[in-house]
């Protein structure tokens, strides 16, 4: 029991130590602290993809949309009605889940392919709703003057808070993955029929898991809104979604730390990339490349095995031809 | 009443191009069990190329560009669906990546301007409804293509192989049908049709760099509305989606007009047949 807890929390401890080591180095620089908060926010968004795609096999093309729902929920109540950001936090956690559950329930009766199309639809409708929302969502102008968090006024406090949230989410996520529910989700992903035979209500379970992942994205949106103090129709769009999916896939969607590695890598890479227009090209190519070379990501791939396979590729190729059509 | 007829007619004419996009969706889904999200991006690529070059050469180049893009997607998807890793979601993710690439490519090469051409000055008058002759061309092109595809699918050995690999990939390969090559050809066919649809879109409603995903959704919606397994149904679905759009645009205020067709597709998706694949646990 103790051993399982230790192995489960080991990667999180590694992350916590890394953050503790990095903190004194960047503490003096507002630029790097700002980027560190951004990395933390995108880590949460990528973790949401990791949960849905890596664990449950549901490809959401709209993590940024769920983040935007959380961000707009808190922006509207705090900036317009002067409510405490903590109420905003509750809304940011609840609203995405409330939206995601029935959506997943209606669609995923087991087949994840239509659901990914549905998330694409959601993304399009939401972007439209934000633009046309008039004074409620700020329309094209967006909402500015979102209050920063009173308990994390300075950028350094924000850095600490956001990484604490990442670690907290990771601990909960690790527990969930190891629990009976997590195992049921894995079974349901690989063999829904088997899971049903084992007494798992697959559609309800997957929808629930999807809702939880949307909630994590909503949390990220809450941080995003209070960190940047501005939310507009171009803040969390589908282009951000592809970036987030890419983060999760690069690092390893089914692993704990993979999405965080991906988030850190891509955020830092974006700092040195040319204009925003060409970013989509680079992200698209990187995504395809990663899918082709190591579809399980950096942390999810058994590199030793992969390299061994490359060495014996010729004999493997012969076998592939022989069995290829059968597996199709 | 008269208004209603006008909207329905306009919608149906608009839906013709969606019907063209629906065909590759249903074909690809029934042969490979996967969805090509980049379909709309091929069409927009064709729009951009035809707009920039212009003339018959432009049209040819546009269709070639779309086919070339689908060629790349075909290669990628075949690599992703290699034995031991048949995961349709990964393939969808790959096409999503390529769609993003194409969208960004179109944005940086061709700019943000909407691309549209109106080749006709005069309009036909159909009982008081002004209609551009271009829609007539669209309808004719679609009819020709659909007939050709129908003949190819029903009458030629290639079509028979294609239907066989759709119905039962394992059985087909046991009978010596090169299933993977057929899959690849399906992707190419998708690019060809999307390219043609793109050219027609350029001369009717126009498009800009951001239309790619919307077009994919229209094609997908058209394909699922009457079931995925027949190109003719997809065509009818396209007309249907076009009519829904035209009615919404006619009777609803601005934003709703754009949103309602999406919501209709969502409802179809949640009630539709695609979910019934579920009965086999996702194994098509």
Q: Let me know: does B62 contact B183? Beta carbons within 8 Å.
A: no
Distance from CA of A59 to the nearest CA of B (A): 7
User: CA-CA distances (angstroms) from residue A251 to A54, A255, A262, A296?
Assistant: 11, 8, 5, 8
Work out the pLDDT band at B231, boundaries 50, 70, 90.
low
Nearest to A244 by CA among B35, B100, B77, B78: B100
**pLDDT tens-digit readout, B22-38:** 888 888 887 777 788 88
Largest interatomic CA distance in chain B: 61
Q: Let me know: does A70 contact A88? Beta carbons within 8 Å.
A: no
A152: three-class secondary structure by DSSP: helix
CB pair distance less than 8 Å for A107 and B217: no
CB pair distance less than 8 Å for A113 and B100: no
The token duo for A189 is 């992903």
Q: What is the mean pLDDT of chain B?
A: 81
Contacts of A249 (CB under 8 A, 6+ apart): A53, A262, A287, A290, A291, A295, A297, B93
Predicted local distance difference test score (pLDDT) of residue A328: 38
Interface probe with B: pick from A187, A280, A319, A323, most Cβ of B within 10 Å:
A280
CB pair distance less than 8 Å for A57 and B89: yes
Q: How many CB atoms lie within 10 A of CB B38?
A: 34
The DSSP call for residue B272 is S
Q: Let me know: does A53 contact A59? Beta carbons within 8 Å.
A: yes
Give the range among A173-182, B73-82, B142-151 with minimum mean pLDDT. B73-82
**pLDDT tens-digit readout, A301-325:** 777 777 776 666 555 555 555 454 4
Interface probe with A: pick from B30, B36, B38, B93, most Cβ of A within 10 Å:
B93
Work out the pLDDT band at A1, boundaries 50, 70, 90.
low
CB pair distance less than 8 Å for A124 and B179: no
Nearest to B132 by CA among B120, B115, B143: B120
A238-251 and A112-132 helices, crossing angle to 10°? 140
**pLDDT tens-digit readout, A249-278:** 888 888 888 899 999 988 888 888 776 677
Predicted local distance difference test score (pLDDT) of residue A133: 75
Tokens 């449950």: give the residue.
A56
Q: How many CB pairs under 8 A join A and B?
A: 167
Is residue B269 within 8 angstroms of chain A, CB to CB?
A: yes
CB pair distance less than 8 Å for A281 and B104: yes
Predicted local distance difference test score (pLDDT) of residue A317: 53
Work out the pLDDT band at A220, boundaries 50, 70, 90.
very high
The token duo for B84 is 């031991």
Q: Averaging pLDDT over each range in A163-177, B100-114, B156-170, which range is the top one? A: A163-177
Nearest to B28 by CA among B225, B169, B184: B184
CA distance A286 to A251: 12
Q: Which residue has the higher pLDDT, B273 or B277?
A: B273
CA distance B50 to B58: 4
> Quick one: what percent of chain B has pLDDT higher than 90?
5
Predicted local distance difference test score (pLDDT) of residue B225: 80
Nearest to A247 by CA among A286, A200, A209: A286
CA distance A112 to B234: 22
Is residue B105 within 8 angstroms of chain A, CB to CB?
A: yes
Distance from CA of B267 to the nearest CA of A (A): 9
Q: How many CB atoms lie within 10 A of CB A165?
A: 19
Q: Let me know: does A324 contact B175? Beta carbons within 8 Å.
A: no
What is the CB-side half-sphere exposure of residue B74 using CA atoms within 13 A? 23
Pick the residue from chain B with its C-alpha nearest to A60.
B93
Largest interatomic CA distance in chain A: 67
Pick the residue from chain B with its C-alpha nearest to A192.
B281
B179-203 and B133-155 helices, crossing angle to 10°? 170
Interface probe with A: pick from B81, B259, B270, most Cβ of A within 10 Å:
B270
Nearest to B70 by CA among B199, B189, B197: B189
Work out the pLDDT band at A191, boundaries 50, 70, 90.
confident
Predicted local distance difference test score (pLDDT) of residue A170: 92
Is residue B262 within 8 angstroms of chain A, CB to CB?
A: yes
Average pLDDT value for residue range A215-226? 92
Predicted local distance difference test score (pLDDT) of residue B83: 52
Considering the entire predicted model, what is its pTM? 0.83
Predicted local distance difference test score (pLDDT) of residue A47: 93
Predicted ipTM of the assembly: 0.81
Predicted local distance difference test score (pLDDT) of residue A326: 41
CA distance B63 to B128: 35
Work out the pLDDT band at B152, boundaries 50, 70, 90.
confident
């Amino acid at each position: 029991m103790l051993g399982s807890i230790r192995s489960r929390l080991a990667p999180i401890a590694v992350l916590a130590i890394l953050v503790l080591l990095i903190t004194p180095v960047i503490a003096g620089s507002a630029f790097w602290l700002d980027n560190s908060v951004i990395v933390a926010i995108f880590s949460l968004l990528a973790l949401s993809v990791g949960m849905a795609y890596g664990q449950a096999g549901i490809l959401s093309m709209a993590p940024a949309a769920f983040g935007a729902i959380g961000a707009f929920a808190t922006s509207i109540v705090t900036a317009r009605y002067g409510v405490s950001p903590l109420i905003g936090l509750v809304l940011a956690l609840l609203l995405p889940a409330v939206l995601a559950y029935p959506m997943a329930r209606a669609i995923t009766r087991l087949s994840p392919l239509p659901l990914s199309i549905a998330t694409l639809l959601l993304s399009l409708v939401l972007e439209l709703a934000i633009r046309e929302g008039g004074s409620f969502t700020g329309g094209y102008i967006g909402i500015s003057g979102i209050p920063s968090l009173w308990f994390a006024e300075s950028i350094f406090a924000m850095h600490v808070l956001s990484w604490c949230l990442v670690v907290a989410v990771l601990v909960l996520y690790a527990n969930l993955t190891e629990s009976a529910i997590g195992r049921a989700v894995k079974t349901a992903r690989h063999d829904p029929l088997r899971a049903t035979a084992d007494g798992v209500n697959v559609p309800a379970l997957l929808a629930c898991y999807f809702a939880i992942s949307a909630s994590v994205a909503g949390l990220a949106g809450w941080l995003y809104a209070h960190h940047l103090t501005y939310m507009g129709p171009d803040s969390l769009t589908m282009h951000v979604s592809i970036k987030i999916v890419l983060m999760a896939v690069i690092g390893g969607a089914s692993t704990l730390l993979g999405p965080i590695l991906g988030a850190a890598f891509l955020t830092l890479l974006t700092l040195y990339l040319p204009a925003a227009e060409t970013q989509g090209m680079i992200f698209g190519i990187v995504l395809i490349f990663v899918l082709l070379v190591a579809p399980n990501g950096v942390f999810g791939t058994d590199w030793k095995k992969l390299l061994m396979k490359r060495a014996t590729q010729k004999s493997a190729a012969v076998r592939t031809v022989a069995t290829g059509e059968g597996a199709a | 009443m008269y208004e209603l007829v006008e909207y329905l007619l306009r919608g149906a004419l608009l839906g013709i191009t969606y019907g063209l996009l629906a065909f590759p969706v249903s074909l690809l889904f029934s042969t490979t069990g996967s969805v090509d999200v980049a379909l709309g991006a091929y069409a927009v690529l064709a729009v951009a190329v035809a707009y920039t070059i212009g003339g018959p050469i432009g049209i040819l180049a546009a269709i070639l560009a779309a086919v070339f893009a689908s060629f790349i997607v075909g290669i990628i998807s075949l690599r992703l669906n290699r034995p031991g890793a048949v995961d349709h979601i990964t393939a969808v993710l790959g096409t999503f990546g390529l769609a993003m690439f194409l969208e960004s490519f179109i944005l940086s090469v061709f700019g943000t301007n909407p691309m549209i051409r109106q080749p006709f000055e005069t309009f036909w008058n159909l009982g008081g409804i002004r209609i551009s002759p271009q829609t007539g061309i669209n309808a004719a092109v679609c009819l020709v293509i659909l007939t050709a595809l129908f003949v190819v699918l029903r009458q030629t050995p290639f079509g028979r192989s294609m239907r066989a690999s759709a119905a039962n990939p394992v059985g087909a390969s046991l009978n010596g049908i090169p299933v993977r090559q057929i899959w690849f050809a399906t992707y190419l066919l998708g690019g060809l049709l999307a390219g043609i649809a793109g050219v027609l879109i350029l001369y009717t409603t126009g498009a800009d760099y951001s239309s790619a995903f919307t077009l994919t959704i229209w094609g997908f919606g058209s394909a699922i509305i009457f079931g995925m397994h027949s190109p003719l149904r997809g065509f009818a679905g396209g007309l249907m989606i076009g009519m829904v759009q035209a009615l919404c645009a006619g009777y609803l205020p601005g934003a709703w007009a754009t949103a309602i067709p999406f919501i209709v597709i969502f409802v179809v998706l949640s009630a539709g047949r695609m979910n019934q694949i579920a009965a086999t646990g996702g194994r098509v």
